Amino acid sequence: MNKNLLTNLIAAALFGLGWEWQNELVMMVGLFALSGALTNWLAVHMLFEKVPGLVGSGVIPARFEAFKAAIKALMMEQFFTQENIDRFVSGGATKGSLTLAPVLEKIDFSPAFDKLIDVIMQSSFGGMLGMLGGEAALKPLKEPFITGMKESIIEISQKESFSQLLQEEIDQPAVMADIRTKVAEIIDSRLNELTPQLVKEMVQQMIKEHLGWLVVWGGVFGGVIGFLSALIVL
């Protein structure tokens, strides 16, 4: 059984028993416990649901824009700061591990070969090659050319001098600023998918279990206060 409902039922049962037995001590314990539990339950309910006539209720879905802004501020100010991005790009996160080989392996170098053929055919050798079959005579060279070109570029990309040049370009302030702008755009695009209902459900799922204990302790402390009050009155 839900702990909130159980707490309210126990408090109501104590109040009912006190009324039935004409026992003011039990009745006061039950009344104060029920008052504390119900008040805290209503407060928890008002966080997520709009209650007509109660100003400030439904605060979480009503402030979902502020909630999204807070998430973005947290991400940009704590994780994707200019210093963190610079440290990631130029520091240990990429140093020694930045390799373009997997990317270069996927590149299609056919356009480069086609451009080479165009250059050759438009040169003074074009007429000579025309007598030997023209462009068709060069087609068998396509695969060896692509393989050799790919191996050469991968070899160049793995040299220390190339890595240093690439690092210097990445370290440019304009590049760093652009990276941070792109990160902010990605975060914005994801946050724009949030709706008030989704924000409410997300927050409610995270803290519902803990907020439920507010009702329980509201009933407990209310009962204690009712017990002490009854002792003073009696």
Contact indicator for 212, 3 with CB cutoff of 8 Å:
yes
Vertex 226: Cα angle to 223 and 227 (nearest 5): 85
Q: What pLDDT band is residue 137 in, cutting at 50, 70 and 90?
A: low
Contact indicator for 211, 21 with CB cutoff of 8 Å:
no
Mean pLDDT of 107-124: 78
Mean confidence (pLDDT) of the chain: 79
Closest CA to 142 of 116, 113, 185: 113
Whether the pLDDT of residue 94 is over 70: the answer is no
The token pair at 51 is 């209650």
pLDDT in tens, 3-16: 888 988 999 999 99
pLDDT at residue 92, as a whole number = 47
Mean pLDDT of 192-202: 81
- In single-letter form, the type of residue at position 90 comes to S
Whether pTM exceeds 0.75:
no
Mean pLDDT of 100-119: 79
pLDDT in tens, 29-74: 999 999 999 988 888 888 888 888 888 788 888 888 887 888 888 7
- Give the orientation angle of helix 110-122 with respect to helix 142-157, to 10 degrees: 120
Residue 99 CA to its chain's centroid (Å): 27
CA dihedral 138, 140, 141, 145 (to 10 degrees): 130
Domain ranges of the chain: 3-63+194-233, 94-185
CA distance 34 to 45: 16
The token pair at 46 is 């008002």
Q: What pLDDT band is residue 187 in, cutting at 50, 70 and 90?
A: confident
Query: Which residues, 6+ apart, have CB-to-CB distance to 132 below 8 Å?
Result: none
Kindly report which listed range (80-94, 104-118, 176-190) carries the lowest average pLDDT score: 80-94
The token pair at 166 is 């690439």
Rounded to a whole number, what is the distance in angstroms from the first to the last CA of the chain?
Answer: 35
- The alpha-helical segments, DSSP class H, found in the chain are 3-21, 24-48, 59-62, 64-74, 82-90, 101-106, 110-122, 125-131, 135-138, 142-157, 160-170, 173-191, 196-233
Radius of gyration of the chain (CA): 36
Q: What pLDDT band is residue 126 in, cutting at 50, 70 and 90?
A: low
Q: How far is CA 57 from CA 44, 108, 156, 195, in A?
A: 10, 59, 64, 18
pLDDT at residue 88, as a whole number = 65
